[in-house]
Amino acid sequence: MTWVVQALMALGLFFAVMGNLGVFRFPDVYTRLHASSKCGTTSVFSVLLGCMLAEGLSAMTGKIIAISIFFLITTPVAAHIIGRCAWQRNVLPWRKQKPRSEQS
């Protein structure tokens, strides 16, 4: 059982490193939002799953289940709110080349 918990913790740590690097390094609001929402959700949920398995059946596990259900509901909603705000303020998506209408 210890190996399963350690594997889940390592997975969560890997996704946390990748998500923070993406948020620090990517060039645009939308790409940063992509990295933040997916990697943040996956890393925190796998850490919580590892905590559940490490604790076993107790009163703590029920509270961790409630926290994880709330977290899985609210984090994509918050990401969608941020993306909608950026889209309504006319923030253009990043491109490697400028579109043809702007080049000429």
| Position 40 contacts other proteins (CB under 8 A) | yes
| Position 65 contacts other proteins (CB under 8 A) | no
| Position 17 contacts other proteins (CB under 8 A) | yes
* Nearest-approach distance from CB 62 to other proteins, in angstroms: 9
What is the distance between the alpha carbons of residues 96 and 6, in angstroms, rounded to a whole number? Answer: 40
Binding site for other proteins (CB under 8 A): 2, 5-6, 9, 12-13, 16-17, 19-21, 23-24, 29, 32-33, 36-37, 40-41, 43-44, 47-48, 51, 54-55, 59-60, 63-64, 66-67, 70-71, 74-75, 77-79, 81-82, 84-86, 88-89, 91
